[in-house]
Structure 1
Amino acid sequence: MEFNTQSAIGNPQSGWTSDELGRICRQVLRNFFGSFREAEVVASFYPYVGLTHTACKVLRRRAPRDMEEIYEQFRRDPELEAGLRRRRLQRGRKLINSSKGRHHALREIFEELNGKHFNHQLHIKQLGWGPRRSWSRLGHFDEVHNSITISPVLDSPRVPRGVVSYILYHEMLHILFSGTDGHGRGRHHPPEFRRAEEAYPDRASIKRFLNEFCRSRGKVRSSGLGLP
């Protein structure tokens, strides 16, 4: 059995060789995944724009907690983060459709929320409906490209404007609290973020609607439907 992996951790020019990368991959895979103890593991470098959990994605498994903590320490290095930002700005692309959907106009909702909740202080470079109908991620703020993408599954006559407003409000909070220090998910949702989110009017009823809406399409997720 042959397993090919590609890594964004380093590159041959940085002093790492493919042989060294292969040795590390073989050690990790064989220690943590029994099916790889007799497998041939071939590893090579690939110039990803960002970091990626290659092995975990292929195996569809979550890494052990102690390994995640080591990875998080590495990923939070200021020099590494600055380099990733530069590469994403230089090479990364954002595929976003128009903010004007068939049923909901995101720019109009953004301006309404910006005035009502943020005193017109927030600015966004790109805002629009995503190219894919994602149920696992209904909204996303990209700090590097200063963009907000909303899943087109919400551009439906069945979805009230207030529900779209709440999802967009959640992503706008990311603009407000971008750069807040922390670890893991808490880094993106610090306590002050959660307090502001919980203060949104009718939040409980909106989340109930989203649960029912997703369930009616057979998109139930044990992790909370990927809702904000």
Structure 2
Amino acid sequence: MAPSYRGLILDFGGVLTTQMRLNGQAFEQSEGLSPGAYFRALGEHPDGVRVYADLEVGLATQEEWNRVIGGILGIDPTDLMRRALANLRPEPAIVTAAQRAREEGVKVAMLSNSFGLEPFNPYEALGMWGDVFDAVILSEFEKVRKPSPTIYQRALDALELTGPECVFVDDHEANLLPAKALGIRTIHHTTDPGATAAQLEALLVRPAA
């Protein structure tokens, strides 16, 4: 039986890549920071929360993020985003599942809240740019970020598909709810890429004869 879905939408950090928390912990160690300092700077410090939200929708540059987060942490801000993401790697199981789906004729899109592109483009650095996807939807270009329903609709529009024709994978459960409201089949990716890849294979890849 042919797959019933025609589109696959994938989050970047933590889905197409290794876990963001593990990357952040490695960054803290490399910079000599106390455990949890980086995550507090991003998610609890008012200036950190603000500049990250602004970066994601194109209201702040990556260099502004570098300066603010570097200041909060008390470390050199030079090219900080590159250093902060230095331990991210493509997640082989998910990347392979996406490639197999695409070979089946499924359209594949990346939907990411942006990390900024200059001076460091993390998508290009990990080989997830150019013609790897049928569509790339970045929040800084859309001026809106997940979990706003608007950005999911724009992903569907970019693929020229409807919600019920697509599958969406994200590692944050809150980001799945707006997709569900559009009729998109959702998968909550946790810490087992093999399990997520198996779900994608079952939904999107035609069984061998």
Give your verdict on TM over 0.5: no
TM-score, length-scaled by structure 1: 0.29
Q: What TM-score results when the alignment is normalised by the length of structure 2?
A: 0.31
User: Highest Rg: 1 or 2?
Assistant: 1
